[in-house]
Amino acid sequence: MNFDAITIRDIARELHLSVSTVSKALRDSYEISEKTKKLVTEFAQKHNYRPNPMAQSLKKGHSKSIGIVVSSIDNQFFSQVINGMESEAYSQGYNVIITQSHESYELEVQNVGHLIHRAIDGLLISIATETADVEHLRRLQQQGLPIVFFDRVSNEIDTHKVIVDNLGGAYQATMHLLASGYKNIAHITSSVTSSVTNQRLAGYVDALVESGIEVNEQYIKYCLHGGLNLDELEQAIDELMQTEPRPDAILTASDRITTSTMTLLHKKNIRIPQDVALVGFSNTVLADVLNPSLTSVHQPAFEIGRKATEMLLSIINSKRPITEFENVVLPTELFIRSSSASKLK
């Protein structure tokens, strides 16, 4: 702890100045002469003075750190998002404190509590699939905590949000499958309560309806744990494969579900795309080298994180309370690869 334990007091003593003079000199106050400022800053520089952040935090009432809640850090999409957050926060002198909800409501509440306890200046959160009630967040917001939602947002709380064009992404992916000759397209998604799920589902439905294809409810499977629970996903796939007519393509709605589905199809010796085509939301850098290479809806994850953090910091640094909130929607990108190779010749 007490490394280069030089404090403002030490500087004051050495330079025969008062503590407040030193403090003001370092903060470049107009009250202090240029000469003294120079003296102090040079001395501080030379002795590698660093203000004690805890004393500053205590005094100023903020901690220069922001809290992050994601479902799991061990997930290409989220780790890329966090990468963007860390980058932006760091460049503005903030630290990030990362916590994982593992899609559990209980853990989410607990983590947020812990973060508040650590006196974060703001919160970046993608709510857990399990979470249906966001009262705990609303209360915090009303008490003045700046919050920015990303990815999985809540409609019930009014604040800045950063999402991607989920509807468009799913629509485009579904249209691509249809154009490639697939007729019976299934959709595996996560919890019904999630904003992301609903938007992607809507894109899927829109594409079907627009193409004059009836939506078959049996083709839509919900996985409450977002693919974290393999059994749940396996059951969904098994059910799909027994549905008549059997689906000839699957659209998966999240990174984890996509990769897990791929793994399970392999395990079951179901060939992609001959037996069933696969298109999924995924940010894996390995899409190209998968077997088969994976047609994926890619999200600008880094940019999501960067933008969300930028917006959060703008709330934090704003003098007046914010009442107008922005809803940033970033585009997705469809990468067409072999897992959805055309059936037509």
State yes or no: residue 27 binds DNA (CB under 7 A): yes
Residue 87, H or E segment: helix 76-91
Among the residue ranges 110-118, 147-155, 172-180, 214-222, the one whose residues contact its own copies (CB under 8 A): 110-118
Q: Which of 243, 293, 314, 342 binds its own copies (CB under 8 A)?
A: 293
Residue 309 and residue 84 in contact, taking contact as beta carbons nearer than 8 Å: yes
* Token duo for residue 138: 């609303």
- Tell me the CA end-to-end span of the chain in Å, nearest whole number: 69
- DSSP class of 212: T
State yes or no: residue 52 binds its own copies (CB under 8 A): yes
Residue 278 and residue 249 in contact, taking contact as beta carbons nearer than 8 Å: yes
Nearest distance in Å: CB 98, its own copies: 6
State yes or no: residue 117 binds DNA (CB under 7 A): no
Alpha-carbon dihedral angle through residues 185, 189, 192, 197, given to the nearest 10 degrees: -90
State yes or no: residue 99 binds its own copies (CB under 8 A): yes
Looking up tokens 């003079």 gives 21
Q: Which does 26 bind (CB under 5 to 8 A by kind): DNA, its own copies, none?
A: DNA
State yes or no: residue 136 binds DNA (CB under 7 A): no
* Token duo for residue 324: 């107008």
Residue 184 and residue 343 in contact, taking contact as beta carbons nearer than 8 Å: no
Residues touching DNA, count (CB under 7 A)? 31
Q: Which of 9, 38, 268, 271 binds DNA (CB under 7 A)?
A: 9
Q: Which of 143, 242, 269, 323 binds its own copies (CB under 8 A)?
A: 143
Residue 285 and residue 311 in contact, taking contact as beta carbons nearer than 8 Å: no
**Contacts for 104-107: CB closer than 8 Å, 24+ residues apart:** 104/128, 104/130, 105/130, 105/131, 105/132, 105/133
Distance CA 42, CA 22 (A): 12
Phi and psi for 210 in degrees, rounded to 5? -60, -25
Q: Which of 27, 33, 47, 53 binds its own copies (CB under 8 A)?
A: 53
Distance CA 281, CA 304 (A): 15
- Chain-centre distance of CA 69, in angstroms? 8
Binding mask 54-93 for DNA (x = CB under 7 A): -xx-xxxx--------------------------------
The crossing angle, in degrees rounded to 10, of helices 19-26 and 8-15 is: 110
Q: Which of 61, 212, 245, 321 binds its own copies (CB under 8 A)?
A: 61
State yes or no: residue 15 binds its own copies (CB under 8 A): no
Distance CA 291, CA 251 (A): 17
Question: Judged by CB, which is closer to DNA: 54, or 286?
Answer: 54
Q: Which of 35, 46, 117, 345 binds DNA (CB under 7 A)?
A: 35
State yes or no: residue 51 binds DNA (CB under 7 A): yes
Please list, in sequence order, all residues whose beta carbon lies within 8 angstroms of the beta carbon of residue 58, skipping any fewer than 6 positions away.
none
Q: Which does 24 bind (CB under 5 to 8 A by kind): DNA, its own copies, none?
A: DNA
Nearest distance in Å: CB 17, DNA: 4
Q: Which residues in 248-267 contact its own copies (CB under 8 A)? A: 259, 262-263, 266
State yes or no: residue 286 binds DNA (CB under 7 A): no
Summarize as ranges the residues that interact with its own copies (CB under 8 A).
1-4, 50, 52-55, 57-58, 61-63, 65, 72-76, 79-80, 82-83, 86, 90, 95-100, 114, 116-119, 121, 140, 143-145, 259, 262-263, 266, 284-286, 288-293
Summarize as ranges the residues that interact with DNA (CB under 7 A).
2, 5, 7-9, 16-21, 23-24, 26-27, 31-36, 49-52, 55-56, 58-61
